[in-house]
Structures are given as structure tokens and as C-alpha cells.
Amino acid sequence: MPETIYTVGHSNLSFMRFINLIQASNINHIIDIRSIPYSRRAPWSNKSRLAEMLKPFRIRYTYLGHRLGGEKRSIEHHAKQQGVTSQEIYDEAIQVLLQLSLRENLSLLCAEGDPANCHRQHIIAQTLIDSGAKVIHILKDGSLKEAWKEDPTVNQPQLF
């Protein structure tokens, strides 16, 4: 069974506050799920910088926003390039997360600070929970909140 998978939103956090939050949960691998891995509010989180900035803390960085990002067009474009469906791209990325969670303490990274307003809760966490994983959101105040199973009869956001 997969281990716990964490999520965190960088919002407008400073880099050191972000590091403190993820270190408190012993995160050793950040999986960036932003379709657009750049931010004016948190320039340290830009894809090209973040990977380098995490190295001194012995935290790995992997970008999967092209497979798990909240922008449907980005995933569809990647799927078309690969000659597969968007759902296949998404499902494969979910399997990557589940496999990584067996040997690493990972956290998904998105821009939105509040998981209640983010696809990491409404879409990705739902899939992970259905797959048997436990999903924990790291909140910007340092508290942890377990992802909740959403009512499938209520209209939820969809990627495809």
C-alpha cells in the first residue's frame, strides 16, 4: 500500500518558510504539478530556480505539471505529442506518484495556498485516495490537514 503523499501550495511564502514547512514533514522529494511553473509572487518557485535551490537541502525536484497540472490544454498538448489520450497521461503520472510514495516522502507542489481552492484536492487527491493512498495537505500556517473524500454527486472540477 502506498505511503502518505503530501501536498503544499507556495502561495506567497518566502523560500525559507516553504523549506521549514516541508522539512517539518520530512519531505525529500517535491513533485511540481503546476501547469505554469513560474510565479511573480514567489519567484524562488520558478522551475529553473527551484530545482537548484532545493539541492542544498537534499530535496529532489521533479516536474509533472505537463501531466498533472490544472490546465487541461497543457495535458492535452502533451498527450497529443505522445500519441496517447489525456486520461492515459494522467493515469500514468498517478502511478508514478504511487510508486515514488513507496520509497520517498514526497509532496506535490502547486501555487494555490488553500487546497480547498486547488485541483490538488478536488482532482488529484481524489484519485490518490481511491488508489488507497493517504493524502495530507501542508497548510501555510504549518498545520496538516488530511485530504477529504468529496461527494461524487456534487459537481466537481474535471481535467478531461
The pLDDT of residue 89? 87
How confident is the model over 8-30, as pLDDT tens digits? 999 999 999 999 999 999 999 99
Q: Domains in the chain, please, with CATH? A: 4-146 (3.40.1010)
- Which residues lie below 8 Å from residue 82, measured CB to CB, with a gap of 6+? 89
Dist CA 73 CA 105 (whole Å): 30
Whether 84 has a pLDDT exceeding 90, the answer reads: no
Determine contact, residues 133/2, Cβ cutoff 8 Å: yes
How confident is the model over 30-77, as pLDDT tens digits? 999 999 999 999 999 999 999 999 999 999 999 999 899 877 666 676
Cα 115 to Cα 56, 79, 122: the distances in Å are 28, 26, 8
Whether 155 has a pLDDT exceeding 60, the answer reads: no
pTM: 0.89
